[in-house]
Amino acid sequence: MASAPTPPTNPYRLLGGRIPYVEGPLKVTGRAEYTDDIQRPGLLVGRLLRSPWPHARLRSIDVAAARALPGVYAVLTGDRYPIPFGVLPITHDETAIAVDASRYIGDIIAAVAARDEPTAEAALALIRVDAEPLAEHADPRMGTSKVTDPIHAKGLAGTNIQKEVVQHFGDVDAAFARARFTARVRGTFAGVTHAFTEPMATIAEATPDGRLTVWSATQVPHYLHRTLSEVLGIPMHRIRVIKPEVGGGFGGKSDPLPHEIVCAALAIETGRPVKILFDREEVFYTNHGRHPTQNEVRVAADAEGNLLAYDIEALIDGGAWSSFGTVTTYYNGVLAMGPYRVPNFRYKGRRVYTTKPPSGAMRAHGGTNIRYSIEVALDRIAEESGIDPFDLRERNALAPNSTTVNRFEITSTSFLECLSAVRKASDWDRKFRQLPYGRGIGLGCGFYISGSNSPIHFTPKMPQSTVHLKVDMDGGIAVHSMQADIGQGSNTLLAAIVAEVLGVDLERVHVQRVDSDVSPVDLGSYSSRVTFMMGNAARSAAEQLKGELITAAAGLLGTPPEEVMVGHECFETRGPPPASVPFLEVLHRAMEAKGALTASGSYQTRPKGGTFKGAKAGTAPAYSFAAYVAEVSVDVETGEYRVRKVWAGFDCGRPLNRLAVEGQIEGSIHMGLGQVMGESMNYRGSRLFNPSLLEYKIPMPQQMPEVEILLVGKDDPEGPFGAKEAGEGPLIATLPAVGNALYDAVGVRFTDLPITPDKVLRGIDRRVAERRAWKGA
């Protein structure tokens, strides 16, 4: 769908326009190389034996028969590499292969490398595991008190609680006591998963020079690099991590994953290259998707609709491991801190281990489920107070350059502009509560971090992103960085920023494949950090080169450097008389002194946030804002419904590549729609019943609403060229916009996601049984 045209004020040549992906031609021809496309001589097949038990003590594992099978090169069990790891340094509770116990159906308990798949599978079938079943823990509610057979020894005092967060700012009880309007919403959210189209794949090869090379479908090559080193006991400089093209991640490829370590271990054991490629069912078991969650939100407002307080509780089903869970537990509270002023705030969040596939980070991590409940609660307050939902939100919007009660610094925000743009475009004032029964319109809003201020890192002082540039006499500009393009278009943006600063054509810039041997560290694709941080680092590197080139150009033009400007593929002076020298000539002059030009640019956030425990969670150098309106139509006899249109008002600062920003918003809406309409990890007990793309209900093209995108952001002071994130924030508002639209359509509050047609019909039935008419029906 068309977005508003590029504002005439765009001062940039490339940025702010629609820039097709630089690697697009490779992708549309099948020439882009993904991990499974890579061939190595003598490649072995690695396969994993997975636990058929939800929870079991592993007494002994007999691999003799498997080892003896012809064609088998190695069989590994957990005792060989028992060093625990995990994405967060404070919660290392995973091992590459289960050591003493298996903790979910699908947990890895042994691994085989063999000459081909049939042999590997035959070998797996020969492994005998003597296991003693332990108590299954499927329900997180039961895990909050003392249990038999806790899943991890680390759980809070004999329970399965992995993390508990309690925060209180202001005085919530006092605020509720003086509130005129209150609303309470209890939300239940099934787990959802990334379901990227490319299954996980890793290839590893240990070579006689004592080095290990790992190709893997990962979003964060750097964390994989570190974890391989820790668990395998090999210094990082002897490990080389390469990220080929990645077929989608959405958070699911951001943890260092056990199979990546196992694959490397098998390569070391066998001395041969080994590949592990998941089948689709294994992708589902590996999960790390959005947590199944129950939350309860209470909101208080005064007579004018000013928000007084939030009181929030969340019970988060973590699955077998910690993963990003500590962050998740904080985010489920603190990501309620915008886009409104909330003077009093209380939160209690608990993440509980269960014997299910681990949950972790998924697009709009931690901000999605809580946002749904809040926006529904606001809809109730609006209804009760008779204040229009838009007016209510406008009245409470966080102002630019303000600070939240938990000390988030809000710098740029165009939230009000988002609201007014979608209100107008959707014709809200003529539709809200005025569409016929069965048709409805709803508003949902959101905000999200544009990168994390204090990420997982060696030391907080190291830059979060570094970009290297090299230009040689051919005039091509090589760009190195460990940022990980997983489809969001970061390679393209990297190239475009460099080209913009240097005034050259995009085709001069070659973004190199991520390779830890040559790419400087960038923390990779998570927390919506890439445009902001890599963008700033790239800009800084390019500015350095520009400085050198301008000096050379000044010499050639015979003018002082201050008067030299970057032109298109040249450097110019306005004169008089005006003159210009081609880029290549300037470059060659600049190279006379030192050969190829190189530059290194980096970005690090400024310290932010309070000093209380957990104060850093959710701090970011900037935040994106969203206001979405959805229009739905419901078949009131069957409960089936369609989302007809979504108006997406979004503030990502200055959109640097409109094609990519629109793509992120459309894709986010699609993914959000999936979580509202039908996607769910269907567990009975801890058994996943739908580990397939047939029974995991990703929406089809016919279900996609028309999308109208309204990009209304103003330049962010710190973002590169004024930009903020657009990769995750655009998902969040989709869910409550649909939920509130369904209410407008049929007068039923749906707080159990996904909202499948059977639930809609039950809601309508109940309303009819209670003889509560809605919009004349």
Partner 1 sequence: MHLDPFELHRPRSVEEAVRLASELSGQCDYLAGGTDLLPNYKMHLNLRPHLIALEDIPELRGHSFERLGAMERLADLEGDPAFRAAYPGIQDAVGEVATPLVRASGTVGGNLLVETRCFFFNQSFFWRASLGFCLKADGDRCHVVPQKERCYATFSGDLAPSLLVLDADVEVAGPSGRRRLPLSGLYDAAGDGIRRTRLAPGELLVAVHLPPSARGQRAGYKKLRVRPSFDFPELGVAVAGRWDGTRVESLRIAVGGVETYPRRFDALTDPLAGAPLSEEALGRVASEVMRGVRPVHNTFLLPDYRRRVVEVYVRRAVREAREGSAA
Partner 2 sequence: MPSRDRLRFRLNGQPVDVFCPDPRILLDLLREDLRLTGTKRGCDLGTCGCCTVLLDGRPALSCLTLARLVESREVTTIEGVTPPQGLSPVQRAFVEHGATQCGFCTPGFVVTATALLRANPHPSREEIERAIAGNLCRCTGYTKIIEAIAAVGGR
CB-side neighbour CA atoms (13 Å) of 691? 19
Angstrom distance (rounded) from CA 241 to CA 258: 15
Q: How many residues does the chain have?
A: 777
Any idea what DSSP says for residue 436?
Answer: P
Q: Quick check: 50 binds partner 1 (CB under 8 A)?
A: yes
Residue that the structure tokens 């629109």 belong to: 662
Angstrom distance (rounded) from CA 168 to CA 182: 19
CB of 28 to ligand FES, least distance (A): 10
Choice between 153 and 694, CB closer to partner 1: 694
The 3-state DSSP class for residue 237 equals: helix
Angstrom distance (rounded) from CA 284 to CA 58: 23
Alpha helices in 33-142 (DSSP H): 64-68, 117-126
Largest CA distance in the chain: 88
CB-side neighbour CA atoms (13 Å) of 206? 16
- Which of 91-99, 161-169, 557-565, 696-704 is the region at the interface with partner 1 (rule: CB under 8 A)? 696-704
Contact yes or no for 297/184 (Cβ under 8 A): yes
Binding marks (x or -) toward partner 2, 318..357, rule CB under 8 A?
A: ----------------------------------------
- Which of 9-17, 129-137, 515-523, 665-673 is the region at the interface with partner 2 (rule: CB under 8 A)? 665-673
Name all contacts of 477-480 with Cβ < 8 Å and 24+ positions apart: 477/502, 477/504, 477/508, 477/509, 477/510, 478/510, 478/512, 479/509, 479/510, 479/511, 479/512, 479/538, 480/512, 480/518, 480/519, 480/520
Contact yes or no for 222/464 (Cβ under 8 A): no
Strands 307-319, 293-301: pairing kind = antiparallel
Within 8 A by CB and 6+ apart from 507, the residues are none
Contacting ligand FES within 194-213 (CB under 6 A): 197
Choice between 193 and 218, CB closer to partner 1: 193
- Which of 45-53, 268-276, 397-405, 509-517 is the region at the interface with partner 1 (rule: CB under 8 A)? 45-53
Please identify which residue in 39, 60, 459, 702 interacts with partner 1, judged by CB under 8 A.
Answer: 702
Angstrom distance (rounded) from CA 419 to CA 430: 16
Choice between 37 and 132, CB closer to partner 2: 37
Contact yes or no for 84/76 (Cβ under 8 A): no
Please identify which residue in 297, 761, 764, 774 interacts with partner 1, judged by CB under 8 A.
Answer: 761
Choice between 4 and 88, CB closer to partner 2: 4
Binding marks (x or -) toward partner 2, 248..267, rule CB under 8 A?
A: xxx-----------------
Q: Quick check: 247 binds partner 2 (CB under 8 A)?
A: yes
- Which of 391-399, 435-443, 467-475, 681-689 is the region at the interface with partner 1 (rule: CB under 8 A)? 681-689
Choice between 246 and 677, CB closer to ligand FES: 246
The pair of structure tokens assigned to 330 is 């904080």
Angstrom distance (rounded) from CA 422 to CA 443: 9
CB of 248 to ligand FES, least distance (A): 5
Q: Write the single-letter amino acid at 535.
A: G
Q: Quick check: 31 binds partner 2 (CB under 8 A)?
A: yes
The neighbouring-strand residues paired with 648 are 628, 709
Angstrom distance (rounded) from CA 503 to CA 416: 35
Q: Quick check: 610 binds ligand FES (CB under 6 A)?
A: no
Q: Quick check: 401 binds partner 1 (CB under 8 A)?
A: no
The number of residues that bind partner 2 (CB under 8 A) is 57
- Residue 585: phi and psi, rounded to 5, are -65, -45
CB of 218 to partner 2, least distance (A): 13
Residue nearest to ligand FES (CB): 197
Q: Quick check: 245 binds partner 2 (CB under 8 A)?
A: yes
Residue that the structure tokens 């609403």 belong to: 705
Choice between 27 and 80, CB closer to partner 2: 27
- Which of 5-13, 355-363, 621-629, 685-693 is the region at the interface with partner 1 (rule: CB under 8 A)? 685-693
CB of 51 to partner 1, least distance (A): 8
Any idea what DSSP says for residue 141?
Answer: T
Q: Quick check: 505 binds partner 2 (CB under 8 A)?
A: no
Residue that the structure tokens 């959710």 belong to: 618
Choice between 23 and 394, CB closer to ligand FES: 23
Angstrom distance (rounded) from CA 126 to CA 382: 63
Choice between 487 and 674, CB closer to ligand FES: 487
Q: Which does 687 bind (CB under 5 to 8 A by kind): partner 2, ligand FES, partner 1, none?
A: partner 1
Contacting ligand FES within 444-503 (CB under 6 A): 487
DSSP 397-427: BPPTTEE-TT--EE----HHHHHHHHHHHTT
The pair of structure tokens assigned to 344 is 């009093």
The 3-state DSSP class for residue 335 equals: coil
Choice between 281 and 472, CB closer to partner 1: 281
Angstrom distance (rounded) from CA 216 to CA 483: 14
Angstrom distance (rounded) from CA 94 to CA 332: 23
Choice between 97 and 342, CB closer to partner 1: 97
Q: Quick check: 34 binds partner 2 (CB under 8 A)?
A: yes
The pair of structure tokens assigned to 401 is 């350059």
The 3-state DSSP class for residue 271 equals: coil
Choice between 37 and 507, CB closer to partner 2: 37
Choice between 135 and 693, CB closer to ligand FES: 693
Q: Quick check: 121 binds partner 2 (CB under 8 A)?
A: no
Residue that the structure tokens 């060989």 belong to: 80
Q: Quick check: 567 binds ligand FES (CB under 6 A)?
A: no
Q: Quick check: 633 binds partner 1 (CB under 8 A)?
A: no
Q: Quick check: 689 binds partner 1 (CB under 8 A)?
A: yes
Contact yes or no for 325/90 (Cβ under 8 A): no
The C-alpha R_g of the chain, in whole angstroms, comes to 27
- Which of 182-190, 240-248, 451-459, 633-641 is the region at the interface with partner 1 (rule: CB under 8 A)? 633-641
Q: Quick check: 134 binds partner 1 (CB under 8 A)?
A: no
Angstrom distance (rounded) from CA 677 to CA 671: 10
Please identify which residue in 14, 35, 36, 53 interacts with partner 1, judged by CB under 8 A.
Answer: 53
- Which of 47-55, 256-264, 446-454, 479-487 is the region at the interface with partner 1 (rule: CB under 8 A)? 47-55
Q: Quick check: 691 binds partner 1 (CB under 8 A)?
A: yes
Q: Quick check: 302 binds partner 2 (CB under 8 A)?
A: no
Contacting ligand FES within 232-291 (CB under 6 A): 248
Please identify which residue in 209, 562, 592, 637 interacts with partner 1, judged by CB under 8 A.
Answer: 637
Q: Quick check: 690 binds partner 1 (CB under 8 A)?
A: yes
Element of type H or E holding 168: strand 161-169
Q: Quick check: 10 binds ligand FES (CB under 6 A)?
A: no
The residue ranges that bind partner 1 (CB under 8 A) are 50, 52-53, 105, 117-118, 279, 281, 637-639, 678, 682, 687, 689-691, 694-695, 697-703, 756-758, 761
- Residues lying near ligand FES in the complex (CB under 6 A) are found at 197, 248, 487
Binding residues for partner 2 (CB under 8 A): 1, 18, 20-21, 23-34, 36-37, 39, 194-199, 245-250, 277, 279-280, 486-489, 659-660, 662-663, 666-671, 692-694, 698, 700-702, 704, 707
